[in-house]
Amino acid sequence: MMVPLPNRSGIVQDPILLTEQGQVMFWFGAMVPSAGIIREAYAKLGRDVATVFPCRYSSAATLIGGPITGTVRGFMHYRSFSDRTVIDVR
């Protein structure tokens, strides 16, 4: 199950995937995910990079504005606290 999350400004961030093995986060903000976190995420998904990305999602809940949809290109983070360039990590 994919759970799109609104941030403080109301903009939807990339979702968290809920698996039987635990949550998999795709968005890390200004924190760079370690190689261990990435390995753990792939283990929870039971897949490798070639079969995960791009990952398309759509909200299952009925929403007034319609479903929230998107595509996750990789595990993402900002380049730094001051540079909001989004970096994809696979």
pLDDT of 30 above 80: yes
The half-sphere exposure of 25 on its side-chain side, counting CA atoms within 13 A, is 12
pLDDT of residue 9: 45
Domain containing 46 equals 2-89
Number of separate domains in the chain: 1
What's residue 11's pLDDT? 47
Is the predicted pLDDT of residue 25 greater than 70, yes or no? yes
Q: List beta partners, residue 80.
A: none
Query: Would you state the structure tokens that stand for residue 48, as one six-digit string?
Result: 């490798």
Smallest CA-to-CA distance from 83 within 29, 5, 10 is with 29
Q: What is the pTM of this model?
A: 0.74
- φ/ψ region of 85 (left if φ > 0, alpha if ψ in -120 to 50, else beta) reads beta
